[in-house]
Amino acid sequence: MRHPGPPPRRRVVPPRRRKLHPLDTGQLQDGNPSTPLERRLRSGARRRRIPAAPRLEDGQEEGFGYAGARFLSGVDFDADALRSRLGRCLHEKHLADGTPLDAVLTFDDEHLEDQLLLQSCWLVEHQSWDEAADALRLAHQRGFCELPVIVTQQDLEKHRSKQAYLREPRVVAQWKMVGQNVDLGSQGGRFELFDHSNGDLRVFHDAPEYRLDSTPLPPTHPLHPHSDPQDPPVRHHIFYDDSITWVVEDESLVTESSFSDLLMGGILCPRETMAKATYVGEFLRSRGGWLVGIMTQSPRLPVEGCTTVIGWSQGGEEGDLSGRKFLLTSFTDPFVAWIDVVVSDDNDDSVFLDVYTSEPPAVGVSDAPFVARFRRTAAMARRFLSPIADIVFDGEDSDNDGAGNAGEDEDNSSNDDDDTGLEDGHHHHQQHQQQPESQGEATED
């Protein structure tokens, strides 16, 4: 019988290599490894052999979601999955104090097309929102907006492309989408930004005099070392007049230490319903120079006893001024209180200090001093100013040649006609030059 011999050799065919999906390669992220969003979408996408989505190079004016739209035309996405992902991203994204982003900001996802949903997910996953969100929370405390703010299709389309968005400072680009939701009242109007065809960025009114200058500060400027390109300093000539509205004073140039300081300072400007106490004295360098220390350090550095610091400087015919606003209350307190400190740049020890609050006054003490009528605010202010609190509030002698003088308490339900800048420098200079000797018990305005 014939031996059958060895069995025929079977040809081993290597498995075909799957053509990578654009989401697998991360090509929608400009060549970076795929993001968690993209990995998530891989499991729900029906893969087809389609051209890879192109990268958006610098200078391309391809729509923010256009590349995504071309991709989506070849892949069947479940829009509900995108909406679910967006909602989960918003809730899992936390601000610096632990607040979920969706408590402050959300998207009108029911009316967004797939590519705009994809764009919204990118904005949440890959962008920090702390500065814009803090400004929105402060505006909500003051009754100027409702939370969460809803970003609509019209808001998203204010940026023609991803690269147009990225070419702007992040905080500016974000406020373009949400600022119109902040209504400062009949006098202040909406805190809206306007792009002009000549490249100007304007605020409050689409007029040349309301232009914001965000070009880099000269190296000799005291705020230059503290600059952040994503939240840059801005200069302007805009002031708030309590009896009119925003006004422009060409002879005075204000420099905000950052764009977010412009936002926070502008939201604090309307004070028609605020109570105020004013203290004037020569205590800038008292008690080891504690106050001059926090006035000259970076406004971005935290200061114990306050939530945030707003810095500015002003130059004009009346001299150069520097100021800080120290927000005493948190974004969850039932009222808003802050301290304004203004000093002259001529090296004297004079300090103009105002305490503002929306705290309801204590019952039955309408004729009492400010610290007795607004006890929680007074306690916060004393704690924050602890090294010099007895000088400011009690008139104790300072440890140099001057003494602090307790000033005038005011209820701003009726106001003088002084102009008040975004940072109050001009207002302080006028008022305190006119009333430098006010001291003793306070009087209601």
* 281 residue type, one letter: G
Q: Are 363 and 246 in contact (CB under 8 A)?
A: no
Sequence ranges of the domains in the chain: 22-54+61-156, 267-434
Say which residue the tokens 């009726």 belong to. 414
For strands 246-248 and 238-241, give the pairing.
antiparallel
Q: Are 320 and 313 in contact (CB under 8 A)?
A: yes
Say which residue the tokens 């007029």 belong to. 207
Q: Rounded CA gap, 362 and 365, in Å?
A: 6
For strands 149-151 and 105-107, give the pairing.
parallel
DSSP state letters, 67-126: HHHHHHTTS---HHHHHHHHHHHHHH-B-TTS-BGGGTEEE-GGG--HHHHHHHHHHHHH
Q: Rounded CA gap, 381 and 194, in Å?
A: 37
Which CB contacts under 8 angstroms, 24+ apart, belong to 198-204?
Answer: 201/172, 203/236, 203/238, 203/262, 203/266, 204/238, 204/246
- The candidate with the shortest Cα–Cα distance to 234, out of 253, 208, 220, 207, is 253
Q: Are 373 and 362 in contact (CB under 8 A)?
A: yes
Would you write out the chain's pLDDT as a tens digit for each of its 445 residues?
Answer: 555 555 656 565 555 554 443 333 333 344 444 444 444 444 444 443 333 333 333 333 444 544 444 434 444 468 899 999 999 999 999 999 999 999 999 999 999 988 899 999 999 999 999 999 999 999 999 999 999 999 999 999 999 888 899 999 999 999 999 999 999 988 889 999 999 878 899 999 999 999 999 999 998 888 888 899 999 999 999 999 877 789 999 999 999 999 999 999 999 999 988 999 999 999 999 999 999 999 999 999 999 999 999 999 998 766 799 999 999 999 999 999 999 999 998 878 899 999 999 999 999 888 899 999 999 999 999 999 999 999 999 888 775 444 444 455 555 443 343 444 454 443 333 333 333 333 333 333 4
Q: Rounded CA gap, 393 and 410, in Å?
A: 15
- Give, in degrees to the nearest 5, the angle at Cα 358 between 356 and 361: 105
Using only the alpha carbons of the chain, give its radius of gyration. Answer: 28
Q: Are 213 and 301 in contact (CB under 8 A)?
A: no
Q: Are 160 and 61 in contact (CB under 8 A)?
A: yes
Structure tokens at 10: 């079977």
User: What is the dihedral sign for C-alpha 384, 386, 390, 391?
Assistant: negative
| pTM for the whole structure | 0.78
Dihedral, CA of residue 398, residue 403, residue 404 and residue 406, to nearest 10? 140
- Measure CA 341 to chain center: 20
Q: Rounded CA gap, 441 and 123, in Å?
A: 53
